[in-house]
Structure 1
Amino acid sequence: MQTFDLIINGGGMVGLALAGALKGSGLRIAIIEGSVPEQTLGPVADNRVSALSLVSQQLLRRIGAWQGIEARRLQPYTRMEVWEQDSFGRIQFDAAPLRQPALGHIVENRVIQLALLEALEGAAGVTLVTPARATSLQVGESGAVLQLEDGRALAAKLVVAADGAHSWLRRQADIPLTSWDYGHHALVATVQTKDPHCGVACQIFTPDGPLAFLPLWDEHTCSIVWSLPPARADALTQCDEADFNRRLTVAFDGRLGLCQVLGARSAIPLTARFARDFARERLALIGDAAHTIHPLAGQGVNLGLLDVAALAEQILSVQRAGGDIGRLESLRPFERARKAEAAQMLTAMEGLKRLFAGRHPLKKLVRGVGLLVTDLAVPIKERFILAAMGVEALPPTFTNEKN
């Protein structure tokens, strides 16, 4: 049996980031992952991208992964524009008045993963166990044991579930889950636009649902996320490209001229999830294993990376004090802080979704006035965008860059 201090089940963005945040701490860390991503990036962007906030950038730079992202490909966005179709209401956010170089960056998820793997190469005490899959979990007084499909057994003081929305570890621990179906699917695709995006991220609220255009490194290429009723999402995923291009261009008010899809389209069901416990004896949940939210404001991965920072901070604090990192009492501060923020974000996303649902003229008027007033109320607008950017959200351990 191999023994570690910490086992992370899941080598996606959040799991790898936790290992990166703890490397060099003297802790023995194992990461269990079914497969590693393909190293070679194609000429067309992957459909799955993230809008990384400045605080996520700061964390990734601190753990040595941001340089790998910059060496591959990314796109900063300096402005964000939000409006409703057939309405006078609109709002615009700019980085310049906030004295920031950008509001955030659009990065493919695979690029983030590859950069994190690169940052972990040769890190003392970090072991990547792949391809591997856990098949059983046993929790005892002094530690936990994970049995792998190939017969190996790994023991640790703490096991972390970073295995996504359908977390196997969460189910093994029998942690109740509050969830509700948003009644929408997210259609994701990469598109080429006639006009350049100029580093502007856009979101339009259509009668079917919000449609986001996220700028990519090529000035005529964007990643789209279109929230749609399931039947509509299926129809737009399966229709011929010419029909899709026309419908997308119209839905986006022709803002960037004719849109042409590049590669495959896919639709993903949207579900809100909130685990009743983010921590148990010998177990902690982070990222989508603990919570999933509507992609409306693009905060999903940023929320997960803040989980990483909070858990790493708590683990390091307990380690410095000579405590047991896997005891529930050691994990409580992390759980309290992250549950509160995740619940607040879920509530905010649900409120926004309901506000922009429906076509009643009075409701549409209220939305239009609300957007217009907020756009004119500069202090309110700045507070809103600073919160979304996550400025000053990192715990002390990760606020000073060392890379």
Structure 2
Amino acid sequence: METRADVLIVGAGMVGSALALALQNSGLEILLLDGGPLTVKPFAVDGPFEPRVSALSVASQRILERVGAWEGVRQRRASPYTDMHVWDGSGTGLVHFSASSVHAEHLGHIVENRVVQDALLECLHDSDIGLLANARLEQLRHSGDDWLLTLADGRQLRSPLVIAADGAHSAVRRLAGCETREWDYLHHAIVTSVRCDKPHANTAWQRFTDDGPLAFLPLQRGDEHWCSIVWSITPVEAERMMALNDDAFCRALERAFEGCLGTVLAADPRLCVPLRQRHAKRYVDNGLALIGDAAHTIHPLAGQGVNLGFLDAAVLAEELLAAVQRGERLADMRVLSRYERRRMPHNLALMAAMEGFERLFQADRLPLRWLRNTGLKLVDQSAQAKALFVRQALGLSGDLPALARP
């Protein structure tokens, strides 16, 4: 049995779901498929936090508002943060960013990935977008002017345009033979939620330790004492930390964070994630486009990964809808290349900046330590430089698609 669609999106994660919703009411037959069940789970506002969170920028919030999902996020759980403290644990450099410096209410929201996902799924179930759950892709090949996809259960799907939104280990990217540049950071990230003695004051805290960056991100559940942590450390150290009991882990975390929020009172179950940089050499081919983690993965130290993905989805939707208005063939390289030209330079620039930061703060040589501490102090003393960084955190710089503009 063969099913046909004008646009076939593989991967119903946050980015793929946002793209599908951005294309609804376009007159296009949209089919969104995923290897998972695509069901919305019951959510308890006072329940435990999910370990994986995202630091959603204001631009990402606008995109979610305009595809109809932000209200679902807000009704569940979202933690706004107004300030950010960054300091070098091996020196004296410190910088403080504040939303008030650019007359903004907040810098963004810390939101559990599951919350965003379920809010998007609610909107998808209320739309006319075709959903195909538990659909595992096994084969992908050209068939005339179309792509023909074969699923594990034998079903076949046909479309002139396939969008890969199936994550860092994208099956579409692999089966289509898209080349990537990638390398291992030789670090793992430990993620969990912890309760601290002192309130987080709606502030994102990040300390650069000798092993790697450690972030405490504010969470809200009736008080200001819960934080999501992302701790980037060497694989050997990560293995040791994962083997500790909860109390010993809390003490180690407290020492690494210099006790900035007092005693770490409790920790939820931990996850350990290997860190790897990956970037596709091309985002597009005939009838094919990569978005989100399928196109690029980035170090989590700035929390920008999902924000880049939402901008990918918004820009691609904008270019496809413009092509529909002009009567162009959506799968044409001229159409898809417009998306690549708008997104690749921005993504590469941010990835290069994050790579530079990561290497600079890992460097142990005295001149580089002096350089990074001096740099942090100079930035902290310059209102103009800080405003530039704040606008980047808000997602308000560069070529913004209409869905992300004020």
Instruction: Specify if TM > 0.5.
Output: yes
Residue 172 of structure 1 aligns to a residue whose secondary structure is: helix
Q: CA–CA distance in 1 between the matches of 2:39 and 2:375?
A: 43
**Contact 1:184/1:230, CA 8 A, preserved across alignment:** yes
Query: CA offsets, 1:264-319, max 9 Å, x none?
Result: 11111111001111001111000000000101111100011110011101110111
1:248-263 to 2 correspondence within 5 Å? 248-263=253-268
Taking a change above 3 Å as real, the CA distance of residues 371 and 300 of structure 1, as seen in their structure-2 partners, is same
What letter is aligned with 1:238?
A
Deviation at 1:217, TM superposition (A): 1.1
Paired residues for 1:76-115 under 5 Å? 76-115=80-119
Deviations 1:330-384 (A, max 9, x none): 2011112222112111211110011111333332222111101101011011012
Contact 1:5 1:29 in 2 (8 A): yes
Q: What code does the residue aligned with 2:373 have?
A: G
Q: Distance in 1 between matches of 2:99 and 2:402?
A: 26
Which of 354, 360, 383 pairs up with 2:388?
A: 383
Q: Secondary structure at the match of 2:359?
A: helix
Counterpart pick for 2:332 among 327, 330, 343: 327
Q: What's the counterpart of residue 43 of structure 2? A: 41
Residues 375, 400 of structure 1: alpha-carbon distance in 2 compared, 3 angstrom cutoff:
closer
Asked if 1 retains the 8 angstrom alpha-carbon contact of 2:147 and 2:162, the reply is: yes
CA contact (8 A) 2:107 2:393 kept: no
Q: Offset at 1:89? A: 0.8
Deviation at 1:105, TM superposition (A): 0.3
Give the distance between the partners of 1:158 and 1:87, measured in 2 at CA: 52
Question: Does the CA-based 8 Å contact 2:89-2:207 persist in structure 1?
Answer: yes
- CA 1:16–1:73 in 2, change beyond 3 Å: closer, same or farther? same
Give aligned-pair identity as a percent.
Answer: 44
Partner of 2:216: 213
Pairs within 5 Å for 1:2-401: 2-35=3-36, 36=38, 39-41=41-43, 43-124=47-128, 126-218=129-221, 219-391=224-396, 393=398, 395-399=400-404
Give the number of equivalent residue pairs.
Answer: 400
Distance in 2 between the 1:261 and 1:40 partners? 25
Could you list the per-position Cα deviations for residues 84-125 of structure 1 after superposition, in whole angstroms to 9, with x for gaps in the alignment?
11422100010112111100000000000000011122312x
Report if the CA contact (8 A) 1:13-1:112 is conserved: yes
Letter in 2 for 1:355: L
Q: How far apart are residue 22 of structure 1 and its match?
A: 0.8
1:395 Cα deviation from its structure 2 partner: 4.2
Instruction: Give, in whole Å, the separation in 2 of the partners of 1:273 and 1:357.
Output: 20
Q: Secondary structure at the match of 2:43?
A: coil
CA distance in 1, matches of 2:42, 2:237: 34
Counterpart amino acid of 2:177?
D
Say which is worse superposed, 326-335 or 387-396, in terms of deviation: 387-396
Q: Secondary structure at the match of 1:264?
A: coil
The answer to whether the 8 Å contact 2:90/2:210 transfers is no
Give 1:248 deviation, angstroms: 0.3
TM-score where L is the length of structure 2: 0.95
**SS state at 2:369 partner:** helix
CA RMSD of aligned residues (A): 1.5
Q: Provide the C-alpha distance between the structure 1 equivalents of 2:318 and 2:187, rounded to a whole number of angstroms.
A: 36
- Mapped contact 1:161–1:284 kept (Cα < 8 A): yes
Deviations 1:109-166 (A, max 9, x none): 0000000011122312x01100111111122442212111222211112110001101
Letter in 2 for 1:363: L
Q: Is the partner of 1:310 in helix, strand or coil?
A: helix
Kindly indicate whether the alpha-carbon contact (under 8 Å) linking 1:313 and 1:395 is maintained by their aligned counterparts in 2.
no
Distance 2:348 2:121 in 1: 30
Q: Secondary structure at the match of 1:58?
A: helix
Give the letter aligned to residue 92 of structure 2: F
What is the TM-score of this pair, normalised by structure 1? Answer: 0.96
CA distance in structure 2 between the partners assigned to 1:213 and 1:142 by the alignment: 50
- Decide whether aligned partners of structure 1 residues 70 and 323 sit closer, same or farther in structure 2, where only a CA change above 3 A counts: same
Query: SS of 1:253's equivalent?
Result: coil
- The residue identity in structure 2 corresponding to 1:364 is R
Deviations 1:211-260, CA, capped at 9 Å, x for gaps: 00010113111100001000101110111111111010011110111113
